[in-house]
Structure 1
Amino acid sequence: MTVEVGLLGPVELRLDGRPAALTGAPQRIVLARLALAAGRVVPTGELIEALWGDEPPDNAVGNLHSYVSRLRRHTGSDAIRREPGGYRLALPPDAIDTSRVERLVAAAGGQGDEQAAGTLAEALGLWRGDPLSDVADRLAFAPEVARLAEWRRHLREECLARRVAAGRAAETLPEIEAYATAEPMRERAHLLWMRALHQTGRTAEALAVARSFRERVVDEHGVDPSPALDELQQRILAEDPALRPAVRRPRPATPDRFFGRRDEMAELRASLSANRLTTVVGPGGVGKTRLTTEALTGDELVVELAERSVPADVAAAVAGALGLRATPRGAVAAIAERLGGTPAVLVLDNCEHLLDAVRDLVDQILVRCPRVRVLATSRQRLGVAGERVLRLGPLPEQDRVALFCDRAALLRSGFPADGRSRELAAEVCRLVDGLPLAVELAARREAVFGLAHLRDRLGEGLQVLEPARGGDRATAVSATVEWSYRLLDPAAQRLLDRLAVCRGGFGLDALPYFAADAEPLLAELVDASLVVCDVDADPPRYRLLDTVRHVGLSHLESEQAASAHRPQNTTTDKTHSSDMGDKSGGEEAPSKRRGEEAPSKRRGEGGAHINAEGEKQAAPTRHGKGDAHVSAEAEAREAHARWMLDFMTAIVERQRTRNPHTTPALRRELGNLQEAITWLGERDEGARLRAWAASAWTSAPDPGLTAQLVRDAPATVESETDALRAYAAGIGVWLDSNLAEGERLLGAAIAVLPPGHPMRVSALLARIANSMFAGRIDDVRSDALALRDEPGAAPWERVTAICCAALMDAYHGNSAAGLRWLETEGRGLPRDPLDGFEPFTVGELLAASDPRAALTSYDQSLLRSERAQLVYQANIARVARAAVLIRLGRRAEAVDACARTIAAVRSAGMTAQVWTILRLTAELLADLGEAGTAAALVAAADVDPYAPAVMGPDRERLAKLRADGDHPPMDSATAADYALAALARHQQGPGKERPASSRA
């Protein structure tokens, strides 16, 4: 007996194609809830809630069992199954009409316009009326009713769009017009109507549709349509040929070294078109990432999670990929605000070790960002509602052999391509389970052993068939990595294991910290495909594949467990010390073997370290609670931390001279820096590393690092270590615009750090910036004078402090006093040719009296800041430059400058500057005749605690823009979108500048 369920209309049960008579509403409710679960178990409590809401009868469970029993009389016992905790509807996928629609939509995603239109029409034909119409009054079904109704509208629009794209605008136009008339507030319907009218030569009518829709939206909702309407209108006026139907030509054939997976590729692309969430699932090394990469177009936002180890890093990684500088309301909220209602594809690669965090993030993105689709790769499904799972298995034999032979021929020009070689290659591929990564690793050893010997060595047991320690027992790739690992020289094995603690890769400068004479060993690892080399990077960059890194870490953990059971002799074992610079097993550091000492290894009296700046530092304490034997993992992580300490010592020194290579170097090692900070914990070295990181990252920070610094804020500040932690946390909260907490932490650090301490200068400079945003002119002036006289301050730091105090005069309306201050207090201070802050300050001081000279200063500031890769400084110059253009009345330039600056500061996550440029945009829009828009932007800034204080003449300017009446509340992201839409209406097009009153 064939059982089918219909949800796209009244709830319907069909048996062998004929409707079955359901005796009452409870049976339809139970059937609908089970069918909507798509084969998942529905808990008993959820079914009871759907039946009776918050007031179930005393015998609710018994009544539910009765309703299920009656349903089973129709469907048979196999269709509705009792499971632990609930019931499950076990039917084939196509037995439910929603599943049939999903299949058709997926098929349409891979078809041309003409065929896809027919497939989508077939899908729409499965609707028999309003979805779930006979149970729609139940509150429990409200979300599903809304979702299915919206899905139907979306599919209808997509079907109409495909028909128009196929050149059938004329015959489709009546249907589009009827649909748009029935949906007067549906923007996409009207965009389709405009396109169809334009394609059929009725361009004037298409423009009239645009005007009518705009007026209706403004009148009924008080907001403007999305920028898409303006964009289409402009393209129609410009006679964009892309709006006309085009003849589609097949793409020319190109060599493709991606083997097999044709069906999986088609299924993945179809799923990306049809589903909000798609997860590619399979064992490590099966090719999930490669398949995903091949399916992408290049417009997606790709976030690699393999090197992330902390759940909180998931959202931070996405925020960082979006270019957010800080996330004062939390990373998830910032991501949702940035993505908003714009269409986007977010790719999360290697999610298996952070499933809970990824699941929570994806869940919120899907709810809060209705036009975002997510593609994930993982060894396990995420478990999010509506997730489409694509499972990858080993390559078919023909494809795996082709892959092996292709890769082997790349490494050996004489690789035979005869039938016997293919037979041997097939045997080798079977021995490594046909997993793509394992096949490629084996192919690279063919050049060493030849096919026959490679097959024999694998058959004798050199392939490790058991899973790696701590790995998934269903996974064979770790065994493949173990096999390749065992073919390495023991010294290369040790190096590989120790490099596994690196996160995000490493450069050649890291190697001496992990092994002596490591370059030849690294070459062996690259040749074995255990380390990936990017020689196009400058400098070259290396990283371990995810599975290789996992195996290396498992080796370190196993050595640690073994060392815990070794007999200890604390009186005679002198091969280890508490100094991070010493090596285990009596080995000397690499630099000593070459007859020289690395900076971090130089020692002063009492066993203290002498760093690269010649300062004495306390010797770090090893982890291990006094054990004589130090674990391999601890040794590797101590070496890694020592690398990062030396790296940051050099970075801070380079930063003092505004070296333009500082920021790129920091970005390369962000993952390693965070890993070292986590390992060092509350040790003195950890506090020092946090402080250096905070100082170096101020110009172009990362949300993940910002959050890490904030988490380590000390409760009390008594020692130098406390002060360094307080300084680092103070930088973090300042970047998050928490000015009060920033003042507390920075003040506590300054009170403890002695004069001349390198971080005291940075703390004073940070507190000056904090006080500026809070509008405290006396505090800025006091700290500026203190920093000017601070021992050890760099020239640009002294100049910056004096400039900040001068700016406060300008912002309070007394630019002349600021100029006098800069001349008097800055006299004799050396100037830095890479310092863009001084010309920015001069521009601010001249803006009121000589705006054209101010523009020249801002341009000089931008040039210097971009040359030094100082993102923050460049953006504040952009904000100031836009302000002068507005006040000079250069409207067209100002419109363009405001739009570009909003995008720049928003991309950098500079919350305070976002509000500053939005206030300036409000001033410009009021001048262009949009007083209501201007008032709404000013009102939004007035109520947001993260907007900077308003000082001096700006108070009077903004007061004139305010208007009585209620304005919709907007956060910075919404306000930015609102402003950009308004600016788009005034973008300079062909011909003369529009008049100020124009709203076209």
Structure 2
Amino acid sequence: MRFSLLGPIVVRQDGRVLPMGGPKGRALLAALLFEANRAVSFDALQRALWGEQPPATAVSALHNQALRLRRALHTDGVPRLQSARNGLLLRVDEGELDVRDFTDLLAAAREARARKDWPAAAGHAGAALALWRGRPLSDLPELHTLSAEVEQLSQSHLQALECRFEAELQLGRHTEIAPELGRWAAHHPLHEGLQLLLVTSLYRSGRRAEALAAYETVRAALAEELGVDPGPALRALHQQILTSDPDPLPRAAADTPADTAADTAAAAIPTVPVLVVPRAPAPAQLPADAAFFTGRQAELDRLLRLLEQAADGNGPSVVTITGMGGVGKSALAVHAAHLLRGRFPDGQLHLDLRGFGTGIPRETHEVLATLLDDLSPAAPATGRQPLPSGTDDRSALLRSVLADRRVLIVLDNARDSAQILPLLPGTGSSAMIVTSRNTLTDLPAAHHLPLAPMDAEEQRALLSALCGHDRVEQDLDAALRVLAACAGLPLALRIAGAQLAARPAWPLATLADRVGDQERGRLSALTAGLLDLRATFGSSYLTLRDSDRHGDREAARAFRLLGLWPGQVLSPAGAAALLDRTPGQSEDLLERLVDAHLLESPAPLRYRLHDLLAEYAAERADQDEPATVRESARERLCLWYALALENARLALGEGYQLPPRLDETPPAPLPVFTDQAQAMAWCRQELRNIGEAIRQAGQGTRPDLAWRLPVWLLGYMRTCWWTGQWEDYLHQGLRVAERGRDRIGRAWLLRTLGACHRMARRYDLAIEELEEALALFDDPASKAATQANLSIAYGAACRIDQALAHARAALELHRRTGGSERHTAILLNSLAHALRVAGRMEEAEAQYREALVLWRQYGNANSSAVTLAHLGDVLSRLGRADEAFARLQEAVDIFQGLGNAALAADTLITMARTHARFAEWPQTRIRALQAAVLADRHGLDSWLSEARGILDDVEQVRLGARGLAGAPSSAYPALCFGPGPGPAPATR
């Protein structure tokens, strides 16, 4: 786990950002991190969250925040947040907190400065500054007592800047640091230490007039703001410039202690003579560092650590940075190289290998010549020795040249490992950074650093740096829309930032509307001069499409066809249907695309396109594939999901009436399910793809699939109906069926929608949909099943006569027409529900027991549990407590085993009320607490509210105010097409 306070508060685990809640939760985390591994009193924590006048509810609010924080951090099985005497303690291990790392690196930089080890001082200070992502805790609106910690860190940041710039000046790099130093000096116009360093760097670079102007700027600022003159060090330097004094500048304050604050700034005065130029300069070819480099802290830390080890001769000499086009590989490599220049004093080389793009990739033979020439010392008058003519000989010579030097080589945009192999250093302390869109897994002895799109916090920080923090905060909604459109790609964000910088009158909403324009497309909107996302993606795709190798061209075809199925995660089996290939061939093609960073693999054998790449892939499909090919690919995958869903529903062993089956040959092998758990897991994993299949089928040549898919999904949705997703799918299918005047499709959708409405306690809507479905069905089995559903809906609406009438009519029709015995349990359940609502408990018990035997006979676990819960409620009303609790507990165990959190919580609430009926208050509280914990864990707000209401009632009983004995049971009457509800779903 990694805790970051130097900027917005971010917590990562294994590279994934953990949600830390609102400002109060983040403030609590910050207060504990500043005292990591030490107990912090509750009083101190209250002051950190609310200041010196906390509200009356501060104690309970603090405990709630601590509970949320404990859950958020308890992701690795380790209890991070622990209770201490009158307070809390947050456990943080070595290397997990950026503030500690920053402090340690700054201390090492100071020690190196004291012993005048300028390369080490520059390296340690640079590494400390690399941890800095902006003002600490910048995402907290109020700091209260934490403001002192933030101010201390800000002062330490300035000290790190001074130390690094002083070391760079001592190493003769006055020209290189002048631009960056000028920016920091402008941010701190009254900081004499930085101003002194700026004037020195300008003077040493031969920019005398600018040095004098910089001095005049700081003199005027000090006079206007503070009414004082510059300190002795600045004044002495000014006099030197005026007289063009070439003598060495005054010694640093480390040698001559000073008494005043102004003299303390002189600690940064360099001791190198003004006009000294290195006699044989080492190559310094790094491109300019990225302006406003932001984020990538975990990756940067890792890269710096590896390169530091290489410089000491103890680490990997080659580090590869790989990722999709536009993800920021080159920017990270160059930024890290700049921070570690001091660790590689014999030179820093940079070459664009042109592996991807419009140019021809550079030949290794020619690259070797370039590197050897750049590393050769100044030639005598007689000239240099000629380079070897063979590539192998040049490679051997390069290894010899690097063996006794510390050189950093950045090879950007490599095509493949073959282009890199002859360039690798052998022994010694040189290092190489290679960036590529291919994974380069076959590069020997290399350490691989894959680069993923930025997380939300990093994106927001980068956008703020590019166009201004105030501009982002003034329209946060528009900023979030821009971030969503850029989908975590730094290149896209830099294009957006460039557009905003060039148009200061634009509010962020204008850009957000442009990049969100569906007709225009994001790729067209995200273009600024030479920065072009479409061209960046095209260089990767066209490399495959125009390759001489059949496998590459097949991968390019797979890429564009995947663009027809945007935003989804596919398995090789599903991709096989889309691509019209075998699953094995599809897996090979998908893995090839992953290696080329044109496809992501978020989990083993699961594949998806990045958001922006999906848009580009869809464009290529439109351009490179005929319309008939595109439509056939979509239809194959929709049909595959419909047939696979039939298999899943059959594996659930239901006794419900099944919709009409498709009699078609699957376009690819279908999944085989050996038990209910496998079928449920597959549905859970593929739910979004099923939704996409419903959408695409409704727009394509197979509109019948648009109603079959959501109806066949009922078997899975018995356990997940409360999310509202199923209802959306059903309405999509109904619109398609009504548009196509599909009578049978409308009938099945209306019946299933009626079940869905009843689960959500929308009884009038349920009855309306079911009555319409009943009129559309012609066959006896469908009519009987629909009447059974109507009985349940009428019973839930307390219309007892209609409930009993429909239940008996359904059972009579079923038996008269010789209906399937597998459906008998459904109809018995509906009659039992109606009898229970009518208060005829003995008759209801008999019907439930008969239905339970059938459910168990056919292996329908979920329906067995529903019936057990109802039976338990009936038994409790008959006064048979032991039997009731045994049946209810069995139901809870089954629901939890199936992952049906809503009905498990609902049955626990039924148990709590049943205990209350028998005045068993301790047991009532235990069951209500269990229900509350389960509901809270799964975001079931309505169940959580009901459980808390019971807990409040128990507390009233304890206080003697009232009792629960007469409270109604929350047990649900189940529908024939699935379980009934607990409370109505809280979210859609």
TM range (shorter): 0.3 to 0.5
Structure showing greater Rg: 2
The TM-score, its normalising length taken from structure 2, stands at 0.46
What TM-score results when the alignment is normalised by the length of structure 1?
Answer: 0.46
